[in-house]
Structure 1
Amino acid sequence: MTALSVNLNKIALLRNSRGHDEPNVVAFAKKFIDLGVTGITIHPRPDERHITRQDAIDLGNLIAPLKGIELNIEGYPSEEFLQLIEAVKPDQTTLVPDLPGQLTSDHGFDFNTQAEFLAPILSRLKQTGTRISVFLDPDLEQVKMAAKSDADRIELYTEEYARTFISADHDEVHQRYQAAALLAQELGLAVNGGHDLNLNNLKKFVSIPGILEVSIGHALIIECLEQGMNSVVEQYLAICQHSA
C-alpha cells in the first residue's frame, strides 16, 4: 500500500490572497485526516507566499500526538529551513533544490555537483530524528550516488511521468521511473514520488513495486473543487490501497 500525503500549499495560497485566516490550514489538515489521509505535506518558501513558518509549527503541534499520521516538510535546505526542521521535528524532511523565488520544483538534486553540499546538511538533519528524503530525477547514476549518502529515501520527481502520460513514449518513461525505484530499493533507499500526479495518472505510477508514499497537492485541490473533498480523497485512497 502507498501512503497518500496531501500537500496544503494551495490552501495556504488561497488564504494568503485575502489577508486573513480563511481557509485555515490546520482545519483543512484535520479534514483530510478525518477522511483517512495519513500524511500532510507542506513546502514553505522563503517569501512565505503560501505556507508560513507558523503554519509549520501549528501543523507540527497538530500531528505530533496523532498515531499513524505523518508531517512531511519539503524545501531547499537553507539555514532558515534547517532551523525550522530542528524546531518542528517533522516525521519526514524532503530536501528539494529550489532556488529562492522559484515558482515550483522543476528538477532533482545532482549528486555529481551537490554531494559535498548535502553531506553536512544530511548529517545535521539526522540529529533531529527526522526521516530524510531527497528529491531526485529518475536517473540510475543519481540513485547510486544518493544511496551512498545519509538519505533514507528518495522522492522521484514525477513531472516528466505526468507530462508524457498520454504520449507515445510514455512506456519508455515509465520504465525509467520503475528502474530507478527498483535500484533505489536494492541499494537500501525507500522510494516516494511527487509532482503533477493526479487521479488519472496515479494508478500506473503506484503499480511500480515499493512506492511507499506519494505527495499530491495542486491537482488534488483542483479535483476537490470540481468533485468535492470526500469523493476525491476516497478515490485517491482506493488507488493507493491497491498499489504494488
Structure 2
Amino acid sequence: MTKLSVNINKIATLRNSRGGNTPNVVQFAKDVQRFGAQGVTVHPRPDERHIRYQDTRDLQPEVYTEFNVEGNPITSFMDLVLEVKPTQVTLVPDAEDAITSNAGWDTIKHHAFLTEVIAEFKSNGIRTSIFVDPIAKMIEGAKSTGADRIELYTETYAHQYGLGNKKAIEPFTEAAHVANALEIGINAGHDLSLDNIKFFKAHVPGLLEVSIGHALIAESLYLGIENVIQMYLQRLS
C-alpha cells in the first residue's frame, strides 16, 4: 500500500489568519494520525506564512508515524532539520516568495550542492528525497547525489487529468520505470486529490508515499460541513 502523508500547512494558514491557536496544528497532526494517516508533512518557509519553525519543533515529539519536513535547504532550514531529525527531509527548490512549489530540481546543474546537503542529512540518520519533474535525466541525477528517494512533482498530471487527458500520466509512468531500475524510492505530491489519486497510483509502479495537503483539506471541508451544520442546528433547536 502507498502511504499517505498529510501536509498540514493549510491548517497553519487558517490559524495564522486569525491569530491565536485555533485550529491547533499539533492537535490536528495527532488527529490525522489517529484517523489512519501514515505520516505528517510540513513545509516551513522563511517568512513562516503558514507552518512556523517552532511548529516543526513542537510537532516532532507528537508525530509517531513518519515525519516529513519539506523545504529549500538554506542554512536556517538545514539547522531546523538537523535539530528536529524527522523521518524524511524533502528538498524543494522554492524561491522565497513562491506561493507554492512550482518546479523540481535541476539535479545536474545543482548536483554538487545537493550531494553535499544530502550527505549531511544522511549522516544524521534522516531519509532524503529530492523534488523532481518526471524527466529521466533528473531522476538519474537525483540517484547520483545519494538521495534515498525522489518526489515526483505532479501538478502537470493533476491539471491535465482534470481536463480529461489521461495520457498525462505517461511521463510519470515512464519516470517510475526509470526510478525503479535505478532502485531509488518514489514519492509524489502536488495537486493530487480524491479525483485523480486512484488513477495515478494504478499507473505509477513502486509508488511508496504521497504527500497531500491543499486538496485533502478542501475536500474535508466539503465532506464534513453537513455534519457540522447539523450539530449547530441541533444545539440551536
Q: What is the match of residue 190 of structure 2?
A: 195
Q: What is the match of residue 233 of structure 2?
A: none
1:84 to 80, 83, 87: 80
Query: How far off its partner does 1:78 sit?
Result: 0.4
Query: How far off its partner does 1:168 sit?
Result: 5.7
C-alpha distance in 2 between matches for 1:86 and 1:25: 21
Q: Which amino acid in the other structure matches residue 6 of structure 1?
A: V
2:157 to 158, 161, 174: 161
Gapped regions of structure 1 (runs ≥ 5): 232-244
2:220 to 211, 219, 224: 224
Q: What is the match of residue 8 of structure 1?
A: 8
Query: How far off its partner does 1:181 sit?
Result: 1.1
Q: Which amino acid in the other structure matches residue 38 of structure 1?
A: Q
Query: How far off its partner does 1:145 sit?
Result: 1.5
- Does residue 35 (structure 1) correspond to residue 35 (structure 2)? The answer is yes
C-alpha distance in 1 between matches for 2:115 and 2:192: 30
C-alpha distance in 1 between matches for 2:8 and 2:164: 33
Most deviating of 199-208 and 116-125: 116-125
C-alpha distance in 1 between matches for 2:14 and 2:158: 25
- Does residue 186 (structure 1) correspond to residue 181 (structure 2)? The answer is yes
C-alpha distance in 1 between matches for 2:108 and 2:54: 35
Moved over 6 A (4+): none
Q: Which amino acid in the other structure matches residue 207 of structure 2?
A: I
Q: Which amino acid in the other structure matches residue 79 of structure 2?
A: Q
Q: Which amino acid in the other structure matches residue 56 of structure 1?
A: T
C-alpha distance in 1 between matches for 2:54 and 2:158: 32
Residue 139 to residue 58, structure 1, CA distance change in 2 (3 Å): same
Query: How far off its partner does 1:58 sit?
Result: 1.0
1:147 to 132, 139, 143: 143
C-alpha distance in 2 between matches for 1:3 and 1:221: 17
Which one has more relative contact order, counting CA pairs under 8 Å at least 6 apart? 1
- What's the secondary structure of 1:147's corresponding residue? helix
C-alpha distance in 2 between matches for 1:33 and 1:228: 18
C-alpha distance in 2 between matches for 1:82 and 1:116: 16
- Does residue 121 (structure 1) correspond to residue 117 (structure 2)? The answer is yes
Query: How far off its partner does 1:166 sit?
Result: 3.6
- What's the secondary structure of 2:49's corresponding residue? coil
Q: Which amino acid in the other structure matches residue 152 of structure 2?
A: L
CA deviations on 1:200-233 (whole Å, 9 max, x unpaired) are: 000011112110000000010000000029x9xx
Gapped regions of structure 2 (runs ≥ 5): 228-237
Query: How far off its partner does 1:167 sit?
Result: 3.5
Q: Which amino acid in the other structure matches residue 30 of structure 1?
A: K
CA deviations on 1:127-167 (whole Å, 9 max, x unpaired) are: 22110000000001111111111100000000000000044
Q: TM-score with structure 2 length normalisation?
A: 0.92
C-alpha distance in 2 between matches for 1:228 and 1:166: 23
Residue 198 to residue 169, structure 1, CA distance change in 2 (3 Å): closer
Query: How far off its partner does 1:112 sit?
Result: 2.4
Cα RMSD of the aligned pairs, angstroms, is: 1.3
CA deviations on 1:156-200 (whole Å, 9 max, x unpaired) are: 0000000000446431x2111011012111101000000000000
Bigger Rg, structure 1 or 2: 2
